[in-house]
Structure 1
Amino acid sequence: MSNRKALIAGAGIGALATGLALLKRGWKVQLFEQSDEIRILGAGIYIWENGLRVLESLGVYAKVIEGAIPVQRRERRGDRGELMGFESISQSGRCYIPLRHSLLTALRDGFIEAGGEISFGIPVIGADPEGELKFANGTSLRGDLIIGADGINSRVRDSLGLLRWRRSVGQFGYRIMIDRERWEADDPVRSVVSEHWNRGRRLLYAPCTREKAYVQLTTLRSDPLSDAPYDCGAWLATFPHLAWLIERIPSNGKSDWFEVIRLKAWSSGRVALIGDAASAQPPFLGQGGGVAMTSGLALAHALTRHDDVAAGIAEWERGERPFVEWVQSVSSWYGELARLPPKLRRMAIGVIVGNEWVRQRTIRCAAVRPPVGAS
């Protein structure tokens, strides 16, 4: 079993975490990335208890959260700054919002130190269920396990005909990091994660470190801002009480439309799909990276129990897929708050944070305990 080899398309969060988990279980692992280097977006990323446990299992936890501020409280506020509801993060375990750069470099370094290999500038165009990874230059390689971790536009997934449907959720997002003033780290008002709503517009402010904060702006498709670059004046008019924050947002952030997908299957023979290739979702729960990492660790764990790779993949899919699809659905439902009238949205948020039954089911994905056995 220790001589088995995995070939992975992609070099993002899911690919690196899965590759490192396999390396720690005696596999040989090679990643193939179409870009010339690992693509690191300059933004923060939510990592809840489930993802943090994966990082601990992989031995990169300390490096990822170095300098990051633990999230203690999350607030929802209205258009004038009025508090609509809050929750204590400790109720669902730990949460950090480190820089995405910190997460990716820690996973990359851990992967390489464990003996993994990354080949850049090699586009993948598909895979075969028998264990063949196919490249754009006409060549191919065979492995005991093939993993498609090549994003929402996965060529591996589509070559196998596994996509059932792919839908826009009708919302647009703009994300960026901003600098924090030194004194703001000691100001409780400017050191709490807060989500601000005004009609269909939403502004998320999340301190990451003492020096940086993550900002995400979202709008509905019907909003004129959804087709425009960052418009400081329009956002100031929407949230005038947040001028201290909005006026420092730069115009070179990343913009994208949110989508959700559903597959016919997550696997075919010796091929498995991880991350956005299988579980793309809008970012409202902050679980895209978390479920990619937990799914990758669960796959590596399942494969230790089977000499037959296809049987291990099948067991993994039966256990992981229903839960992750539930997370996708909850993330999509939460985004629908943007379509509610203000009074009804306030009531819905009150239920989400105030009703214990609802709250426990909303945070269930954050508190899940992934398998951590090394072999």
Structure 2
Amino acid sequence: MTTTQRHAEIAGGGIGGLGLGMMLAADGWTVRVHERSPEIREVGAGLYIKNNSLRVLEQYGVVEELEPHGTWLKHRRVRNAEGRVINEHETVGHRRCLVTPRQALVDVLASRARAYGVEVVTGSHIAGIEAGGALIDAAGKRYAADLVVAADGARSRLRNALGIKGSFRELDTLIDRFLVDTRSFTQDDATTEHWSGRRRIGITPSGPNQSYVYVVMPRGDAPGARLPLDVASWNASHPFLKAEFDILSQAPSTQYPYALVKVDRWSEGKAAIVGDCAHGLPPTLGQGAGLTLMNSYALMRMVQGRADIPAALREWEKTVRFISDSTQRWAVRYDWFSRQWPSSLSLLKPLVVGAFQHSKYLTEKLRMADRGLDLTPIGFAA
């Protein structure tokens, strides 16, 4: 067992980089996180923090700090275009979920990371990474470490610099995200998806005064993809949401295609990749942040007291990767189902949605990540 204090250099000041930095520092490492932007900012609107990430964050006091900014969901439901509920369950046990603004989570992670002693450097552009244990910035300065980590997103250049074979692919689905300053249409603590044809709208409370809304459509749906939001077009497919559309048409939004990242491995030597860099996936199961934080926690546990970092990283991937791979597959299938289900079979769609709730097999596959590390020898700390 090693007795000297070890050091980690992390490229990327988002959820993965700050989360892993916090965990390593709490375990006794010295850590520096490099963020290329001039400040710690998160792109997006709201965020579902599910059981696997909650189990991790609770150990570091993050959930306690987040609660005033978020909403604990009590129910999740799906409604059809006529407003009828076709699927509903309580969000309890391993299905529990806290919804917060994305920026709130990043701010708390940055605060907790610094409290544990992490050095967070903004405006630091990391351009290279070495499997032997170093990050290199754009000016050529080398940052050597016992462990180096790329957490620079789905389009990661550092992943490619390590020689890790992988692919980044945009899918044929677009998502608009809104965070609006009202709870007028989210007065109960529930998240609701509204399905109509190949369009979906998710509406959920996100703290005491805000609501998070996502609007999903096929890439070829030109009226649906129009911004500002086309009220007439969306009201035609979802006639019960006119008041919500009027608000959304005036609200700022972001629009992105769904994306998928596939890689042949998660590490090379003393270098690891985490987050979307390793397993970017469609947000259909709400597990982008969950997998990132869960796998970061597992990485920290695997390198605890281990002198052979490359071997620990290989064991880390071997132990936990099956959860991410399965979640990716089912997230893509869920996207296909919601986007490509044939119009001629539209009457059968509610029956299939109902099967998601009542089929034990489908539930286990779709919710595997919610149970997370309880499915592995690592587990979660008590």
Q: 2:353 matched to 1:349? A: yes
Q: How many residues align?
A: 370
Question: What does residue range 175-254 of structure 1 map to in structure 2 within 5 Å?
Answer: 175-181=177-183, 187-188=187-188, 191-225=189-223, 227-229=225-227, 230-249=229-248, 250-254=250-254
- The one-letter amino acid of 1:126's match is G
Q: Which residue pairs with 1:24 in the alignment?
A: 26
Q: Which residue pairs with 2:61 in the alignment?
A: 59
Displacement after TM superposition at 1:42 (Å): 5.4
Question: What does residue range 360-371 of structure 1 map to in structure 2 within 5 Å?
Answer: 360-369=364-373, 371=379
d(CA) in 2 for partners of 1:364 and 1:351?
16
Displacement after TM superposition at 1:44 (Å): 1.2
Shifted more, 203-212 versus 276-285: the winner is 203-212
Relative to structure 1, the CA distance from residue 89 to residue 320 in structure 2 (aligned partners, 3 Å threshold; closer, same or farther) is same
Relative to structure 1, the CA distance from residue 164 to residue 101 in structure 2 (aligned partners, 3 Å threshold; closer, same or farther) is closer
- The superposition leaves residues 87-110 of structure 1 with CA deviations (integer Å, 9 ceiling, x where unpaired) of 222153421111212211111000
SS in 1 for 2:350: helix
d(CA) in 2 for partners of 1:107 and 1:181?
26
Relative to structure 1, the CA distance from residue 29 to residue 97 in structure 2 (aligned partners, 3 Å threshold; closer, same or farther) is same
d(CA) in 1 for partners of 2:44 and 2:259?
21
d(CA) in 1 for partners of 2:158 and 2:259?
19
SS in 1 for 2:310: helix
- The one-letter amino acid of 2:241's match is L
d(CA) in 2 for partners of 1:278 and 1:204?
26
d(CA) in 2 for partners of 1:118 and 1:78?
46
Q: 1:10 aligns with which of 12, 22, 32?
A: 12
Q: Are 2:294 and 2:372, in contact at CA under 8 Å, matched by a contact in 1?
A: no
Shifted more, 88-97 versus 254-263: the winner is 88-97
d(CA) in 2 for partners of 1:126 and 1:69?
40
Q: Which residue pairs with 1:106 in the alignment?
A: 108
d(CA) in 2 for partners of 1:256 and 1:89?
28
Q: Which residue pairs with 2:267 in the alignment?
A: 267
d(CA) in 1 for partners of 2:158 and 2:183?
45
d(CA) in 2 for partners of 1:144 and 1:231?
52
d(CA) in 1 for partners of 2:91 and 2:364?
12
Q: Which residue pairs with 2:99 in the alignment?
A: 97
Displacement after TM superposition at 1:251 (Å): 4.2
SS in 2 for 1:247: helix
SS in 2 for 1:349: helix
- The one-letter amino acid of 1:165's match is S
d(CA) in 2 for partners of 1:288 and 1:103?
13
Q: Are 1:169 and 1:332, in contact at CA under 8 Å, matched by a contact in 2?
A: no
Displacement after TM superposition at 1:71 (Å): 1.1
Q: Are 2:77 and 2:191, in contact at CA under 8 Å, matched by a contact in 1?
A: yes
Q: 2:325 matched to 1:321? A: no
- Report the TM-score when normalising by structure 2: 0.92
Displacement after TM superposition at 1:372 (Å): 4.0
- The one-letter amino acid of 2:254's match is K
d(CA) in 2 for partners of 1:71 and 1:335?
23
Question: What does residue range 118-137 of structure 1 map to in structure 2 within 5 Å?
Answer: 118-137=120-139
d(CA) in 2 for partners of 1:335 and 1:124?
34
**Unaligned ranges ≥5, structure 2:** none
SS in 2 for 1:248: helix
SS in 1 for 2:121: strand
d(CA) in 2 for partners of 1:280 and 1:345?
27
- The superposition leaves residues 171-228 of structure 1 with CA deviations (integer Å, 9 ceiling, x where unpaired) of 001001122246x66x44xx42111111111100011223111100011122114653
Q: Are 1:126 and 1:157, in contact at CA under 8 Å, matched by a contact in 2?
A: no
- The one-letter amino acid of 1:219's match is M
Q: Which runs of 4+ in 1 moved over 6 A?
A: none
d(CA) in 2 for partners of 1:228 and 1:103?
29
- The one-letter amino acid of 2:193's match is E
Q: 2:155 matched to 1:153? A: yes
- The one-letter amino acid of 2:62's match is V
Q: Are 1:177 and 1:213, in contact at CA under 8 Å, matched by a contact in 2?
A: yes
Percent identical: 28
- The superposition leaves residues 271-324 of structure 1 with CA deviations (integer Å, 9 ceiling, x where unpaired) of 000001001011111100010001111000000141111111111111122211
- Report the TM-score when normalising by structure 1: 0.94
d(CA) in 2 for partners of 1:235 and 1:58?
42
SS in 1 for 2:247: coil
Q: Are 1:123 and 1:135, in contact at CA under 8 Å, matched by a contact in 2?
A: yes
Shifted more, 353-362 versus 109-118: the winner is 353-362
Q: Which residue pairs with 1:293 in the alignment?
A: 293
Question: What does residue range 35-46 of structure 1 map to in structure 2 within 5 Å?
Answer: 35-41=37-43, 43-46=45-48
Displacement after TM superposition at 1:118 (Å): 1.1
RMSD: 1.8
- The one-letter amino acid of 1:57's match is Q
SS in 1 for 2:45: coil
Q: Are 1:48 and 1:367, in contact at CA under 8 Å, matched by a contact in 2?
A: no
Relative to structure 1, the CA distance from residue 42 to residue 127 in structure 2 (aligned partners, 3 Å threshold; closer, same or farther) is closer
